[in-house]
Amino acid sequence: MKGLTDKQSKIYDFISECQRENGYPPTQAEIRDHFRFASLNAVRSHLVLIEKKGYIRLNFGKARGIKLSSSPKLLIRKTKESIPLLGRISAGVPIWAEQHFEDFLPIPPSMFGGRELFALHVCGDSMIGAGIRNGDIAVIKKQDWVERGEIAAVLIDQEVTLKRVFLSADSLLLKSENPDFEDLKYLKKNSDFIRILGRYQGIVRTRNNRYRT
C-alpha cells in the first residue's frame, strides 16, 4: 500500500480526530469547512484517493459514510498494539529503520490518536514548562512538518530534542519551554542538519520508565 501525501494525511487525521471526538465521522462539508476549501469536490477527490490507498472505505451515497480502515497499516511489525521506542538516532539513517528500535511500549497507538507513532526518551528539562520532564517517554507522530508553534521532535546534529517549532519564510525558530534555555534560530538555507522527526502527541511517565513488553 502506498503512503498518503501530506494533504491526504492531514485529511485522514482530521477524520480520525472527528471520529474520536464525536463518535462519528465528519461530512464532506465539515471537512471542506475545516480546510477552508471552496468546493466540496476538493474533499471528494481527496477521499477517493485516500480510499484507493486503502486507508478509508467510503460508503457511497450515505451520509457520513467514511469508515476508517481497521488496520491503518502500521509499519510496526513486531506487535500490532505497540509503539516502538527508538534509541539513539543516527543521522542519515531513516528513523524508521529497525536499527533504531530499542523497545516497544505495550500501548495501542490508537490511544495517542495516530498511525506511525514512535516514542523517545526525553533528555533534559528544556520543555519543563510544558510539563515534559527529563526521563519521560514522549510519544511522537512521524511527520516532517508541524503546525506553527507545535511541539516537535527535532534532530539537531545527532541529538533529538523536543522544541516548539516556528517556521517562517527564511528561518526556523526552535523554542524551549524553560527560561534557562536559549531559543535556536536557523536560516533555512543552512538548516541541512535540522530535521523534524515528528509531532509531539503526549507522554508516558512511569516510576522508572522501565517495563517489560
Partner DNA sequence: TTTTATACTGCTTATTATATCAGTATTAAT
Partner DNA sequence: ATTAATACTGATATAATAAGCAGTATAAAA
| Binding positions for DNA, rule: CB under 7 A | 5-8, 27-30, 35, 37-42, 44-46, 49, 58, 60-66
Q: What is the Cα 137 distance to its own chain's centre?
A: 15
- For residue 142, give Cα distances in angstroms to 37, 42, 145, 169, 180: 26, 25, 9, 23, 28
> 101: alpha, beta or left, given left = phi > 0 and alpha = psi -120 to 50?
beta
Supply the DSSP string of 145-184, one letter for each residue. ---TT-EEEEEETTEEEEEEEEE-SSEEEEE-SSTTS--E
126 part of the active site: yes
Residue 212: CB minimum distance to DNA, A: 21
Q: Which of 16, 82, 126, 176 is catalytic?
A: 126
Looking at the DSSP bridge assignments, the partners of residue 165 are 174
Which of these segments, 4-12, 17-25, 41-49, 86-94, binds a second copy (CB under 8 A)? Answer: 17-25
Cell of 179: 527560561
Tell which one of 113, 156, 184, 186 touches a second copy (CB under 8 A): 113
> By C-beta, is 82 or 197 nearer to a second copy?
82
Q: By CB under 8 A, is residue 9 in contact with a second copy? A: no
Residue 111 interacting with a second copy (CB under 8 A): yes
41 binds, among a second copy, DNA, none (CB under 5 to 8 A by kind): DNA
Q: Which residue ranges make up the site for a second copy (CB under 8 A)?
A: 19-25, 27, 59, 62-68, 81, 105-108, 110-113, 128, 131-133, 136, 139, 201-208, 210-212
